[in-house]
Amino acid sequence: MRHVAAGLAALALLFIAAPVTAQKQPTFRVDVPLVNVFASVTDKAGAPIGGLTRDDFQLFEDGKLQKIAVFERDTSAPLAIVLSVDLSGSVYKDFAAEQRAAQHFAKAVLRPQDRANVVAFADSTREVTGFTGDAKRIAGGLNGLRPGAGGTAFYSSVSLSSQLLRPEHGRRVLVVISDGDNTVNDVSYQEALDEAVRDEVMVYSIIDVPVAASAGRSLAGEHAMITLAEQTGGRAYYADQASLEQIFQRVADDLRTQYQLGYYPRKRGPEEEQGGFRSIAVKMSSVANNAKYSVHNRPGYYAHATP
């Protein structure tokens, strides 16, 4: 019995002498992703304005002023561009001019870090070249296009182009040449717009006007092309054979003079909606500049709720 008592006493002394180690508390890391906004500034005539600074801009999310954490002028962010060409009968009369202008555009705008792709559509939509930094390959893809048959899958082309752009890095740009007349109903206008917004694709709409008079024109299609551009931070232009080169040059100038603004949105409280659409507004910081200039940027993004 004495031996048992002695053993218990020794064991008690061991526990008393052992240092007490505090249990390590788990740490949690909250990642707030940087939101990038690419903005173009133009004067009232539509000419791009360069040379602005961070202090010239104010940036808002859901109406609340945000701190601009990243600012780049003459952005070096890579470009991923899809040239989507309408081959349906209503616009094919201008295809030779579109072909030349698109080829010159690709040659002029592509830098070593940029990539482009060609998509063609008529009654169906298809990828032609795949993404490449080789302007000659883009030219070859455009040269190989032939007129399509049947209807016009305009919304389908926007949807497919956005999906192709989704894994690309940097600025995702869709330049679409069409009259906007959609006659193939596999994808709706809203579905095409949602796809472009979710994939952060800037749509540049080049509207091919078939005739001067309103009769024979797809006014609803033209409106859809304009709205797609406005709702994604791009631009819309009217073009004919004579002005196509000039319009493509304006698109190139716009992409060269964009500003990159980045911010970290504030963490939302548990009572606030975590996911869903969040609006973005970029404004000039001075009243005088707001009166002189127009700012073009995507109007928002879809936030993902996290546990």
Instruction: Give the pLDDT score at 285.
Output: 96
Instruction: Give the pLDDT score at 267.
Output: 75
**138 C-beta neighbours (distance < 10 Å), count:** 26
As beta bridge partners, residue 79 has 171
Instruction: Give the pLDDT score at 241.
Output: 86
Per residue in 154-204, pLDDT (tens digit) is 999 999 999 999 999 999 999 999 989 899 999 999 999 999 999 999 999
Coil, strand, or helix at residue 70? strand
Element (H, E) at 7: helix 2-17
Instruction: Give the pLDDT score at 196.
Output: 97
Instruction: Give the pLDDT score at 1.
Output: 47
Instruction: Give the pLDDT score at 21.
Output: 43
Per residue in 82-107, pLDDT (tens digit) is 999 999 887 777 888 999 999 999 99
**137 to 18, 143, 175: CA distances (angstroms):** 74, 10, 17
Instruction: Give the pLDDT score at 11.
Output: 42
Instruction: Give the pLDDT score at 75.
Output: 84
- Give the neighbor-by-neighbor strand order of the sheet with 171-178: 125-127, 115-121, 79-86, 171-178, 201-208, 236-239
Q: Cα(303)–Cα(307) distance, rounded to whole angstroms?
A: 13
Q: Cα(201)–Cα(176) distance, rounded to whole angstroms?
A: 12
pLDDT of the chain along its 307 residues, tens only? 455 445 544 444 443 444 444 444 443 334 558 999 999 999 999 899 999 999 999 999 999 999 999 999 878 889 999 999 999 887 777 888 999 999 999 999 999 999 999 999 999 999 999 999 999 999 999 999 988 777 899 999 999 999 999 999 999 999 999 989 899 999 999 999 999 999 999 999 999 876 555 556 678 899 999 999 999 999 999 998 889 999 999 999 999 999 999 999 977 665 556 678 999 999 999 999 999 999 999 999 988 755 5
Q: Which domains does the chain have, with CATH numbers?
A: 35-74+259-303 (2.60.40), 79-256 (3.40.50.410)
Instruction: Give the pLDDT score at 150.
Output: 77
